[in-house]
Structure 1
Amino acid sequence: MTVRRSAAALAASAVLCVAAAPAAVAAPTPTPPVPSGLYGTGDPTYDGVWRQSLALLAQDTVGVRPAAKAVDWLTGQQCDGGAFPSYRADTAKPCDAKLPLDSNATAAAVQALAALGGQDAAVKKSVGWLKSVQNADGGWSYNPGGASDANSTSIVIGALAAAGEKPEGVKSKGGKTPYDALLTFAQPCGGKNGGAFVYQPKQPGIVADSTAAAVLGAHGMTFVATAGARDAKGTVCETSSTTVEGAAHNGAAYLANALAKTGHLNTPPMPGSEDPAEKPDFGNTADAVVALSAQGLGDQAKQPLQWLEKNSAAWAKGAGPAAYAQLIFAAHAAGGDPKTFGGTDLVAGLNATGPAPQKAAVAETKAPAADSDSDMSAWWIVGVFFVASIGVGILISGRRKNQQR
């Protein structure tokens, strides 16, 4: 679940796009100030709406009523046509053609606002916009006009479900449903990515990321998933499966097998990094726990959940609100307590990254910015420039994992 634009995903995206990028790169713009009401302290340019949506949804999941100004900030980001950009710096001006619209941000906002309630008009407008940019194959791209990808399609399915729509009934002009699109990303059993969902057929991307997202999408679930009925098929990839339900099983089996050895997933090194070693991928591991739980592979989710309980506290503190949200979603799906997560109170940690929620007894202050903010922001700037240069929304994770602060 959590497109999630991770640093690793962004780096992979940059590698894919570098051949098509022009030689000159525009100078980076100054980091904008963090608006009042927004969660996190990092540059919101590329993930403001995303991290805000996940933070509000996670608070709602654990019974915390967000600050009114936090909700107002999110609704204020919506364009008149219903879409949300990644971040809209000046809400006094109407959205124009130069402002990129973001299906992932829009879908995340729908999930959050639908859960909070009282935002029916905003939700309806966003759902209408999402339907208007559905691709012919039944799926969605990160930015309208691009090729469909597994992450974007899965997050939009969750948004449709959250808004009370039946995803299978949302069809393109060619009669294709979102589930038709999901099946195009499912890989046959056998081989390196057997059973997984790739980002796009010709660009696998960060496979664990797209697979975790697609398993939830196949079940028609939001980021806030619940444990499914026990999957009696276990972790064996079913070669004869041609249905979206079968693809979901195979995707979960892929994740379970990838996690079996160490209890966590890894992320490849950044291009040009002096350290060639892979690093633990906290965000995708959390999303895998959610996906396994939703599929009914709760036993297989126990080891990665325990690993997260022991090792994720520093990552969440450094990465910020969306990271806390991902861990809360993992604990919720697997039946854990986010307030005693390996000795860490994830709810208190999340609340401290933004305005004090309405139910908080004591005003809380924002957590300090992560030390890696400047480095990660630089990767964002490079990645987004590459994406714009080739005219497609191919930021592989779309969920901004490990990047939100």
Structure 2
Amino acid sequence: MNVRRRSSAAALAAIAVIGAATAPAVAADPSPSSSSSKSAPSGLYGTTDPQYDGVWRQSLALLAQDTAGVVPSSKAVKWLTEQQCANGSFGPFRADPAKACDAKTMVDTNSTAAAVQALWAVGGHGDVVEDALGWLKSVQNEDGGWGYSPGTPSDANSTSVVIGALTATETNPEDVRKGGKSPYDALLTFALPCAKDKGAGAFAFQPDKDGKLLPNADATAAGVLGSLGKGLVTEAGSGAKAKAATCSDADEPTREQAAANGASYLADALAKDGHLVSALGGSADQPDYGNTADAVVALAAQGGADRAAEPLAWLEKNAAKWAAESGPAAYAQLIFAAHATGTDPRAFGGTDLVEKLNATGPAPQGTTAKDTATASDADEAEKKDDDSPFGVWWFVGVCLVFGIGVGFLLSNRNKKQQP
């Protein structure tokens, strides 16, 4: 809520008195809903078995709802907070939250970082967030990065999603160091040089068994966001913050240049069909909807919404069926893509992504101003209120003098402000 909205809300309140709101790693495709569980836990979004992606999909769902101006169900938020272990970590799913975590409880950095971003966004759970951040810092590797599980080698995806958790909570990743290394230092070690014939500018997930870096579109989308210090939800880059998406080597590449290099790789990979592809079990390449959505977010964050226009259009035309089959995390990824490009998630290729997401779990508590008008419309309306001599505080004066006309004035004023 910005200052103008707080002012308007306060004034309206005064008037009222006078008159009397494994799906780990960034963007792995969610599990298909065809394997739905008949006993999904109360408060959880989606009906598939949550064993491998419960916290991840719940976190994305809550974060997407908040992004779209929806106040999530308190039951859904409670489900997520109860998944936390006493040491601050989160795992994919704990069937019995009343039972304390032990050495056998599987916890990971991706679930924990996603939960941090979601709970910080919905607010009111500072202690949970603080404990989770403390755990993440305690399992940081000596190279400055994170692996999926504590003690495993760092990878681009895990390091990036933790960077997102740090920046979302207003923690500077540069200040979170281990062995003198920051998360950015670790992330840049996964960036391929531009001179490479194949995969120039991309990020690798990890070095292979021979120490070679192989291009990976999923890791590249994550690496672009991580290099920019962005989380799962981000705005489109613009002006001086947007660097041309051209691959350029340097003796000591900056993270901003690494992001531009990665965006260049993604743009090239998307150029042919407007979407990324993945091969499953040796079969022919298939459209990769989730990674394409993440690529849209990465391209928009790095260089502006226009650079993501083609893959965004492809998603609007083709992704509805995939999201319906895949569940809440898929709808969330599309909402993040819409948000990053300034696209209305309630009219995404004819699909209301917000309504569809809401329907996968407990009913939300309500909506905020973001959900009833576009950001530009809301800002413009508030600006007019602030700039006009006949703004909301003028109404307070009118009400003091003409108390009998309060109801009529408010009724007409509210009608005029409907989006």
Shift of 1:205: 7.2
The equivalent position to 2:296 in structure 1, one of 277, 281, 289, is 289
Specify the alignment match of 1:227 in structure 2. Answer: 236
Shift of 1:121: 0.2
Aligned pair 1:337/2:344, yes or no? Answer: yes
Q: Which amino acid aligns with 2:80?
A: L
Question: Counterparts of 1:159-198 in structure 2 under 5 Å?
Answer: 159-172=165-178, 174-189=179-194, 190-198=196-204
Secondary structure of the residue that 1:312 maps to in structure 2?
helix
Structure 1 distance, partners of 2:37, 2:215, is 28
User: Are 1:110 and 1:159, in contact at CA under 8 Å, matched by a contact in 2?
Assistant: yes
1:164-213 alpha-carbon deviations (Å, 9 max, x no partner): 211111000x1100000001000001321110011002276771111101
> CA 1:191/1:117 → structure 2, altered by over 3 Å: closer, same or farther?
same
Shift of 1:245: 1.1
1:252-310 alpha-carbon deviations (Å, 9 max, x no partner): 11001111111100011224xxxx31110000000000000100143220000000000
User: Are 1:66 and 1:358, in contact at CA under 8 Å, matched by a contact in 2?
Assistant: yes
Secondary structure of the residue that 2:189 maps to in structure 1?
helix
1:49-77 alpha-carbon deviations (Å, 9 max, x no partner): 00000000000001100010000000000
More helix by share: 2
Instruction: Give the TM-score taking structure 2 as reference length.
Output: 0.77
Aligned pair 1:72/2:93, yes or no? Answer: no
Shift of 1:319: 0.3
Secondary structure of the residue that 2:277 maps to in structure 1?
strand
Specify the alignment match of 1:21 in structure 2. Answer: none
Q: Which amino acid aligns with 1:316?
A: A
Which has the larger Rg? 2
1:308-367 alpha-carbon deviations (Å, 9 max, x no partner): 00000000000000000000000000110000000000000100100010117xxxxxxx
Give 5+ residue unaligned stretches, structure 1: 9-29, 361-405
Aligned pair 1:237/2:259, yes or no? Answer: no
User: Are 1:111 and 1:163, in contact at CA under 8 Å, matched by a contact in 2?
Assistant: yes
Structure 1 distance, partners of 2:225, 2:242, is 18
Shift of 1:3: 2.0
Q: Which amino acid aligns with 2:144?
A: G
The equivalent position to 1:257 in structure 2, one of 262, 268, 288, is 268
Structure 2 distance, partners of 1:342, 1:52, is 24
User: Are 2:245 and 2:303, in contact at CA under 8 Å, matched by a contact in 1?
Assistant: no
Secondary structure of the residue that 1:135 maps to in structure 2?
coil
Question: Counterparts of 1:6-405 in structure 2 under 5 Å?
Answer: 6=29, 33-172=39-178, 174-189=179-194, 190-202=196-208, 207-230=216-239, 234-240=244-250, 242-271=253-282, 276-359=283-366
Structure 2 distance, partners of 1:163, 1:107, is 11
User: Are 1:2 and 1:326, in contact at CA under 8 Å, matched by a contact in 2?
Assistant: no
1:358-386 alpha-carbon deviations (Å, 9 max, x no partner): 117xxxxxxxxxxxxxxxxxxxxxxxxxx
User: Are 1:38 and 1:354, in contact at CA under 8 Å, matched by a contact in 2?
Assistant: yes
> CA 1:295/1:48 → structure 2, altered by over 3 Å: closer, same or farther?
same
Aligned pair 1:5/2:28, yes or no? Answer: yes
Shift of 1:32: 8.1
User: Are 1:102 and 1:143, in contact at CA under 8 Å, matched by a contact in 2?
Assistant: yes
1:234-255 alpha-carbon deviations (Å, 9 max, x no partner): 3421122611111111001100
> CA 1:166/1:32 → structure 2, altered by over 3 Å: closer, same or farther?
farther
Secondary structure of the residue that 1:121 maps to in structure 2?
helix
User: Are 1:2 and 1:284, in contact at CA under 8 Å, matched by a contact in 2?
Assistant: no
User: Are 2:30 and 2:326, in contact at CA under 8 Å, matched by a contact in 1?
Assistant: no
Q: Which amino acid aligns with 2:223?
A: A
> CA 1:85/1:206 → structure 2, altered by over 3 Å: closer, same or farther?
farther
Structure 2 distance, partners of 1:122, 1:202, is 36
Shift of 1:219: 1.1
Moved more, 190-199 or 39-48: 190-199
Moved more, 245-254 or 291-300: 291-300
Specify the alignment match of 2:375 in structure 1. Answer: none
Specify the alignment match of 2:10 in structure 1. Answer: none
Structure 1 distance, partners of 2:38, 2:199, is 40
Shift of 1:119: 0.5
User: Are 1:235 and 1:257, in contact at CA under 8 Å, matched by a contact in 2?
Assistant: no
Shift of 1:33: 2.8
Secondary structure of the residue that 2:266 maps to in structure 1?
helix
Structure 2 distance, partners of 1:205, 1:132, is 29
> CA 1:146/1:232 → structure 2, altered by over 3 Å: closer, same or farther?
closer
Q: More relative contact order in 1 or in 2 (CA 8 Å, sep 6+)? A: 1
> CA 1:325/1:232 → structure 2, altered by over 3 Å: closer, same or farther?
closer
> CA 1:32/1:145 → structure 2, altered by over 3 Å: closer, same or farther?
farther
1:122-142 alpha-carbon deviations (Å, 9 max, x no partner): 000000000000000000000
Secondary structure of the residue that 1:34 maps to in structure 2?
coil
Instruction: Give the TM-score taking structure 1 as reference length.
Output: 0.79
Structure 2 distance, partners of 1:256, 1:170, is 31
User: Are 1:52 and 1:74, in contact at CA under 8 Å, matched by a contact in 2?
Assistant: yes
